[in-house]
């Protein structure tokens, strides 16, 4: 009886979660579409701090839906989504032509490595269920995970290829590559701001970039600076771990091309071939 009640409560929670996300998807002025572990928390912090500097919204809050817009109507409602439709499986809601659409991508091989760490150490059972990831995925070694069509590089490539075609049909869209944001954070943040119809002086852009630097965010996460639980350590999904274990933190490594350190040359060649042979070349990761 207790097990049945637990399942019923889990179903209710999932239903509430889906309804809330559907509302946020449908009412967003800006939809930021990305796969998990593609840099969206960093982008969220950059935009949030820029609006803190411009409009005075709390520095320890992060934009989520219309939380900033309720305080300052000039700030757009922003929803960070996994797809250009909600839910991805059925497409009941599709990004509206009136919404701005930003697709954030990162090298699928780096995403797969970071996602492996996330699944093993940060993701809750509820999150895995929502993303249709079996709990046993936590036990896979990194190469098995990275090559699994449901989990790793093939999964990311499938997302990217679908988004590429969706973007071609959307009138108000832009693409942002994580690697370009790392190489020129001020220039790319300015470009995103202009896409939103905003103009910020260079010193304000520079201040937002400094606030959201990798070392700054690592320290803020450890201090519990942000009111949102989005940036903070989590208990290991598969058992206790030291509090200083980097895998338990949202801001873990953020490297560009760091995936190669984790694979033998023959394994790296397999992942290279996946990207070269199946990824839409316009994303720029096939070289």
Per-residue pLDDT tens digits for 192-242: 999 999 999 999 999 999 999 989 998 888 888 998 766 655 544 434 344
- For residues 98-121, give the mean pLDDT: 95
C-alpha span between 96 and 101 (Å, rounded) = 9
- Dig out the tokens for 172 from the structure: 């108000």
Binned at pLDDT 50, 70 and 90, residue 18 comes out as: confident
Question: What pLDDT sits at residue 19?
Answer: 87
Q: Which of 139, 151, 130, 164 has its CA nearest to residue 18? A: 130
Q: What is the average pLDDT value for the chain, to the nearest integer?
A: 89
Q: At what angle do helices 153-168 and 108-121 cross, to 10 degrees?
A: 120
- Dig out the tokens for 181 from the structure: 């944001």
pLDDT tens, position by position, 241-251: 445 555 555 55
Measure the CA dihedral 193/197/199/200, to 10°: -40
C-alpha span between 203 and 199 (Å, rounded) = 12
103 with 169: CB under 8 angstroms? Answer: no
Question: What pLDDT sits at residue 237?
Answer: 40
Q: Which of 192, 150, 147 has its CA nearest to residue 46? A: 192
237 with 122: CB under 8 angstroms? Answer: yes
- Dig out the tokens for 183 from the structure: 């190489």
pTM, two decimals, is: 0.87
- For residues 179-188, give the mean pLDDT: 97
- For residues 25-53, give the mean pLDDT: 96
Q: CATH for 2-283, among 1.10.357.10, 3.40.47.10, 3.40.50.300, 3.40.50.1820? A: 3.40.50.300
């Amino acid at each position: 009886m207790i097990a049945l009640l637990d399942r019923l409560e889990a179903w209710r929670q999932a239903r509430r979660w889906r309804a809330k996300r559907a509302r946020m998807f449908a009412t967003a002025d800006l939809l930021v579409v990305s796969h998990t572990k593609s840099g969206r928390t960093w982008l969220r912090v950059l935009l949030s701090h820029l609006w803190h500097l411009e409009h005075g919204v709390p520095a320890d809050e992060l934009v989520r839906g219309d939380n900033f817009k309720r305080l300052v109507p000039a700030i757009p409602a922003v929803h960070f989504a996994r797809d250009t439709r909600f839910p991805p499986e059925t497409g009941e809601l599709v990004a509206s032509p009136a919404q701005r659409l930003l697709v954030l991508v990162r090298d699928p091989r780096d995403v797969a490595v970071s996602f492996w760490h996330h699944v093993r150490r940060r993701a809750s059972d509820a999150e895995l269920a929502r993303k249709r990831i079996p709990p046993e995925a936590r036990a896979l070694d990194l190469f098995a995970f990275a090559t699994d069509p449901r989990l790793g590089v093939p999964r990311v490539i499938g997302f990217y290829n679908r988004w590429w075609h969706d973007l071609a049909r959307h009138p108000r869209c832009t693409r942002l590559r994580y690697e370009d944001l790392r190489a020129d954070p001020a220039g790319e943040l300015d470009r995103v701001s202009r896409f939103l119809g905003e103009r910020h002086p260079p010193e304000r852009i520079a201040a937002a970039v400094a606030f959201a630097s990798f070392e700054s965010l690592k320290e803020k996460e450890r201090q519990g600076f942000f009111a949102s639980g989005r940036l903070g350590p989590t208990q290991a999904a598969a058992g206790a771990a030291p509090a200083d274990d980097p895998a338990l933190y949202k801001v873990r490594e953020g490297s560009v091309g760091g995936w190669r350190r984790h694979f033998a040359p023959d394994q790296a060649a397999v992942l290279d071939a996946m990207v070269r042979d199946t990824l839409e070349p316009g994303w720029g990761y096939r070289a």
